[in-house]
Amino acid sequence: MGVTDAVWRIETAIADTCDRFDRDADRQQAHCRRSTYEQTLADVDRQAGTEAMYTLANWIEREIRATNRLPASHEVRQVGAEICRYRTASSASR
Protein backbone atom coordinates (compact mmCIF):
# COMPACT_ATOMS: atom_id res chain seq x y z
CA MET A 1 0.00 0.00 0.00
CA GLY A 2 1.98 3.01 1.20
CA VAL A 3 2.23 5.72 -1.44
CA THR A 4 -0.57 4.22 -3.53
CA ASP A 5 -2.94 4.30 -0.56
CA ALA A 6 -1.97 7.89 0.26
CA VAL A 7 -2.49 9.03 -3.34
CA TRP A 8 -5.90 7.33 -3.38
CA ARG A 9 -6.91 9.33 -0.28
CA ILE A 10 -5.76 12.53 -1.97
CA GLU A 11 -7.69 11.61 -5.13
CA THR A 12 -10.80 11.08 -3.00
CA ALA A 13 -10.37 14.50 -1.38
CA ILE A 14 -10.05 16.07 -4.82
CA ALA A 15 -13.19 14.31 -6.05
CA ASP A 16 -15.12 15.27 -2.91
CA THR A 17 -14.22 18.94 -2.87
CA CYS A 18 -13.04 20.17 -6.24
CA ASP A 19 -15.80 20.16 -8.81
CA ARG A 20 -14.11 22.90 -10.80
CA PHE A 21 -11.94 20.48 -12.76
CA ASP A 22 -14.31 20.45 -15.71
CA ARG A 23 -12.16 22.33 -18.18
CA ASP A 24 -9.33 20.54 -19.93
CA ALA A 25 -6.71 23.00 -18.63
CA ASP A 26 -7.86 22.49 -15.04
CA ARG A 27 -7.78 18.71 -15.46
CA GLN A 28 -4.28 18.89 -16.93
CA GLN A 29 -3.08 21.03 -14.02
CA ALA A 30 -4.66 18.62 -11.52
CA HIS A 31 -2.95 15.68 -13.22
CA CYS A 32 0.45 17.42 -13.07
CA ARG A 33 0.02 18.27 -9.41
CA ARG A 34 -1.05 14.73 -8.53
CA SER A 35 2.09 13.44 -10.23
CA THR A 36 4.19 15.83 -8.15
CA TYR A 37 2.33 14.80 -5.00
CA GLU A 38 2.98 11.13 -5.73
CA GLN A 39 6.68 11.70 -6.40
CA THR A 40 7.09 13.84 -3.28
CA LEU A 41 5.30 11.25 -1.15
CA ALA A 42 7.61 8.54 -2.52
CA ASP A 43 10.67 10.72 -1.79
CA VAL A 44 9.53 11.41 1.78
CA ASP A 45 8.79 7.70 2.32
CA ARG A 46 12.28 6.79 1.12
CA GLN A 47 14.06 9.51 3.15
CA ALA A 48 12.07 9.64 6.38
CA GLY A 49 9.80 6.60 6.43
CA THR A 50 6.18 5.68 5.99
CA GLU A 51 4.94 7.63 9.01
CA ALA A 52 6.45 10.83 7.59
CA MET A 53 4.92 10.08 4.19
CA TYR A 54 1.48 9.71 5.75
CA THR A 55 2.01 12.97 7.67
CA LEU A 56 2.54 14.74 4.34
CA ALA A 57 -0.42 12.95 2.72
CA ASN A 58 -2.65 14.03 5.60
CA TRP A 59 -1.48 17.62 5.19
CA ILE A 60 -2.24 17.57 1.45
CA GLU A 61 -5.69 16.08 2.08
CA ARG A 62 -6.48 18.66 4.79
CA GLU A 63 -5.36 21.52 2.53
CA ILE A 64 -7.58 20.32 -0.32
CA ARG A 65 -10.62 19.91 1.93
CA ALA A 66 -10.06 23.17 3.86
CA THR A 67 -9.32 25.46 0.92
CA ASN A 68 -11.02 23.68 -2.01
CA ARG A 69 -7.83 24.02 -4.00
CA LEU A 70 -4.84 21.89 -4.81
CA PRO A 71 -1.71 22.92 -2.92
CA ALA A 72 1.00 24.17 -5.27
CA SER A 73 3.76 21.72 -6.06
CA HIS A 74 6.36 23.90 -4.35
CA GLU A 75 4.23 24.01 -1.18
CA VAL A 76 4.04 20.22 -1.07
CA ARG A 77 7.78 19.85 -1.64
CA GLN A 78 8.50 22.46 1.04
CA VAL A 79 6.26 20.80 3.63
CA GLY A 80 7.73 17.41 2.68
CA ALA A 81 11.25 18.74 3.22
CA GLU A 82 10.24 20.19 6.61
CA ILE A 83 8.76 16.85 7.66
CA CYS A 84 11.94 15.04 6.57
CA ARG A 85 14.14 17.49 8.49
CA TYR A 86 11.99 17.13 11.60
CA ARG A 87 11.97 13.30 11.41
CA THR A 88 15.70 13.16 10.76
CA ALA A 89 16.45 15.53 13.65
CA SER A 90 14.12 13.60 15.95
CA SER A 91 15.67 10.25 15.17
CA ALA A 92 19.22 11.65 15.47
CA SER A 93 18.54 12.95 18.98
CA ARG A 94 17.42 9.55 20.27
CA distance linking residue 72 with residue 84, whole number of Å: 19
Long-range contacts of 72-80 (CB under 8 A, 24+ apart): 72/33, 73/32, 73/33, 73/36, 73/37, 73/40, 76/33, 76/36, 76/37, 76/40, 77/36, 77/40, 80/40, 80/41, 80/43, 80/44, 80/56
Average pLDDT over residues 68-88: 93
Q: At what angle do helices 50-67 and 3-17 cross, to 10 degrees?
A: 0
Q: In the prediction, which pLDDT does 57 show? A: 97
What pLDDT is stored for residue 26 in this prediction?
Answer: 65
CB atoms within 10 A of CB 44: 28
pLDDT band, very low/low/confident/very high, at 81 (cuts 50, 70, 90): very high
- Taking each helix axis as running N to C, give the angle between helix 50-67 and helix 24-48, from 0 to 180 degrees, rounded to the nearest 10: 150
- Domain residue ranges of the chain, discontinuous segments joined by +: 3-92
